[in-house]
Structure 1
Amino acid sequence: MSARDILLALFVVVIWGLNFVAIKWGVEEMPPLLLTALRYLAAAFPAVLLVKPPKVALPVLLVYGLAVGVLQFGLLFSAVHLGMPAGLSSLVMQVQAFFTIALAVLFLGERPGVPQLAGAVIAFAGIGVIALERLEGAALVPLLMTVGAAFFWGVSNIATKKAGKVDMFAFVVWGSLVPPLPLLALSLLLEGPDAMMAGLTHMSLRTVGSIAFLGYCATLMGYGLWSYLLGRYPASVVAPFSLLVPIVGMASAVAILGEPLSLIEVLGSGLVFAGLLLNVFGPRMLRRLAPAQ
């Protein structure tokens, strides 16, 4: 990769890491489902007026929009609202890689390698360690919701694969049109009109900034630059940069939000990160060792 593109990849990593701080700030003042809806409204407009629709089947676009917007981020924002630490959620969300592998086996006929299976076992063992400290319902539920959000991230990845070779920036922009209406309906049903009205009428500048950052920076800029990098380089070169996202997420949560990390959470996080490392670099190591055998 060129020096400029390495800097672009690191820029995306910082944006996606800070994304979790913005989520935390947003859900402190606004109902999480309403906040998620506003995120996607910001991502969709005015971009849909400037970007041509992607050449993709409508069902694929609908599945992507519902999976990533309504289910993935609806669950994640709600989990953070219920007490899931922003930094820890940035790490737990990365188990999407293993859900993606499992779903690819079921729906795409792909076969995972030994390093990927071993990485999944190690990473989910880490989730289990983290869960040990959250066995009380009030703390365990947000963790399980975050794992569920990671699962639906995997679903959206499969939808993206089904889309084939399309303009991914256009795919993200037009996919952002799908979540707002279902999310607004869910917010009205689950959070109530009073909470929605209070959230809209008492928005602080920090909340407005959070929505703008989530919609324009984390969604459009982040995915736009990431798609550009994937278009120029093999996925094996670009993908490892995503391992830095939870590092930035956890560091920024500690530095900006003052979130503590217990020893058990550190140990569990270490296992999750080790599993992710094995998933990304394990196949490459096996290929290098193969000629020597």
Structure 2
Amino acid sequence: MKPGHIALGLAIAIVWGFNFVVADAAVGHLPPFLLVVLRYAVVALLFLPFTRRGGLPWRYIIPVGLLYGVVQFSGLFLGLRLGVSAGVAATLIQSQAAITIVLARLVLKEKFTAVQWAGLTVGAAGLVLIAASGGASAPLLGVLCVLIGAGGWAASNIVLKRAKNVSAWTMTVWQSVAVIPPMLLLSGVFETGQVPAVTGMAPLTILAVLYIALVATGFGNYAWYRLMQQVGPAKGAPFSLLIPVVGIVSGWLVLGERLTGPQILGVVFTLAGLAVIIFAPQLIGVLRRLIRRPAVSAESTESTSA
């Protein structure tokens, strides 16, 4: 993996990880489904008039919008509504990395080495530690809803890879057409007080919506789509393991939240697992050299004795 791809993956993790701190502030003043509508509405209003669809087929726009925008966020927010804590939900949604890799193996026949599987296992263990450390409830039905959301995100990664050379920016902007109508419907069915919530937004809430729309959605989605296209779902998806780590650290730095021992250990496991996945080729090369070296030394000793 090239340094530019690693930098892009890290930037996505930082932007989306910090987004949990911003979203926490926004959800205190806006219904969550409505917040999804606003994030895509801002993108559509600012960029749709200036972004031509060009040759981007609807057969890619609609599935990505529905899977990534609607299924993911509906599952995530329904899980929150059913009692899953924000920290646990933020961690569970990253199971999309493992689901993506399985789908990439089954659908796209992408390769994933034993060393990378080991790294994924270590990273997943870190996420489990983080999820279990909060002490908040995680009801089964709510957990299943969040996992469905993770499945939607994972499936959208496969669609993005199949789309190949389509413009990542065009996809970022035009998927709002597929996201806004169903999310408006969900907001209308499950939420109330949308009009006063929007008209009474405080300046900090407006800034939070703009960050979520322009930075997390505009830049974040665009960068994610490019990463999926350039390195593939199996190699790109594990970067999402860093998102809850950044979220926890951001909460500590910005909100003064204390880090527990299991959380610190989970962060270490997650970082170690991601490092193994990213640098798997180099690690495999080192292991092969270490294995060959004793064999070469033994042959040299035998030759000398002869």
TM tier relative to shorter chain: 0.7 to 0.9
Matched, 1:112 2:112: yes
Q: 1:75 to 1:203 in 2, by over 3 A?
A: farther
Q: Give the drift of 1:28.
A: 1.0
Aligned position for 1:271: 269
Moved more, 99-108 or 69-78: 69-78
Q: Give the drift of 1:40.
A: 0.9
Does the CA contact (< 8 Å) of 1:36 and 1:74 recur in 2?
Answer: no
Q: What are the within-5 Å matches in structure 2 for residues 158-173 of structure 1?
A: 158-173=158-173
Matched, 1:40 2:40: yes
Aligned position for 2:85: 84
Does the CA contact (< 8 Å) of 1:33 and 1:78 recur in 2?
Answer: no
SS in 2 for 1:261: coil
Q: 1:272 to 1:28 in 2, by over 3 A?
A: same
Does the CA contact (< 8 Å) of 1:27 and 1:77 recur in 2?
Answer: no
The one-letter code sitting in structure 1 at the alignment partner of 2:85 is M
Matches of 1:167 and 1:117 in 2, distance apart? 31
Q: What are the within-5 Å matches in structure 2 for residues 1-293 of structure 1?
A: 14-77=14-77, 84-85=85-86, 92-133=92-133, 137-138=137-138, 145-191=145-191, 194-224=192-222, 245-287=243-285, 289-290=287-288, 293=292
Matches of 1:242 and 1:134 in 2, distance apart? 20
Count residues in correspondence.
289
- 1:260-279: CA deviation from partner (whole Å, max 9, x where unpaired): 33323333343333333322
Matches of 1:92 and 1:166 in 2, distance apart? 30
Q: Give the drift of 1:280.
A: 2.1
Q: Give the drift of 1:173.
A: 0.9
Does the CA contact (< 8 Å) of 2:120 and 2:238 recur in 1?
Answer: no
TM-score normalised to structure 1 length: 0.79
Runs of at least 5 residues in structure 2 that lack an aligned partner in the other structure: 293-306
Q: Give the drift of 1:20.
A: 1.6
Matches of 2:122 and 2:4 in 1, distance apart? 34
Does the CA contact (< 8 Å) of 1:54 and 1:166 recur in 2?
Answer: no
Moved more, 106-115 or 237-246: 237-246
Matches of 2:8 and 2:277 in 1, distance apart? 23
* Structure 1 vs Structure 2 CA RMSD: 3.8
Q: 1:124 to 1:226 in 2, by over 3 A?
A: closer
- 1:19-72: CA deviation from partner (whole Å, max 9, x where unpaired): 221211111111111111111111222311111115333222211101111122
Matches of 2:121 and 2:226 in 1, distance apart? 32
Q: 1:225 to 1:98 in 2, by over 3 A?
A: closer
Does the CA contact (< 8 Å) of 2:97 and 2:241 recur in 1?
Answer: no
Kindly, what percent of the aligned residue pairs are identical? 32
- 1:194-220: CA deviation from partner (whole Å, max 9, x where unpaired): 332342243222222111111112221
Does the CA contact (< 8 Å) of 1:19 and 1:218 recur in 2?
Answer: yes
Q: 1:127 to 1:241 in 2, by over 3 A?
A: closer
TM-score normalised to structure 2 length: 0.76
Matches of 2:289 and 2:169 in 1, distance apart? 40
Q: Give the drift of 1:78.
A: 5.3
Does the CA contact (< 8 Å) of 1:80 and 1:142 recur in 2?
Answer: yes
Q: Give the drift of 1:161.
A: 0.5
Does the CA contact (< 8 Å) of 2:96 and 2:237 recur in 1?
Answer: no
Moved more, 95-104 or 246-255: 246-255
Does the CA contact (< 8 Å) of 2:23 and 2:208 recur in 1?
Answer: yes
The one-letter code sitting in structure 2 at the alignment partner of 1:219 is T
Q: Give the drift of 1:281.
A: 2.0
Q: Give the drift of 1:168.
A: 0.8
Matches of 2:139 and 2:53 in 1, distance apart? 42
Matches of 2:161 and 2:171 in 1, distance apart? 12
Q: Choose 1 or 2 for highest CA Rg.
A: 2
Runs of at least 5 residues in structure 1 that lack an aligned partner in the other structure: none
Q: 1:224 to 1:27 in 2, by over 3 A?
A: same
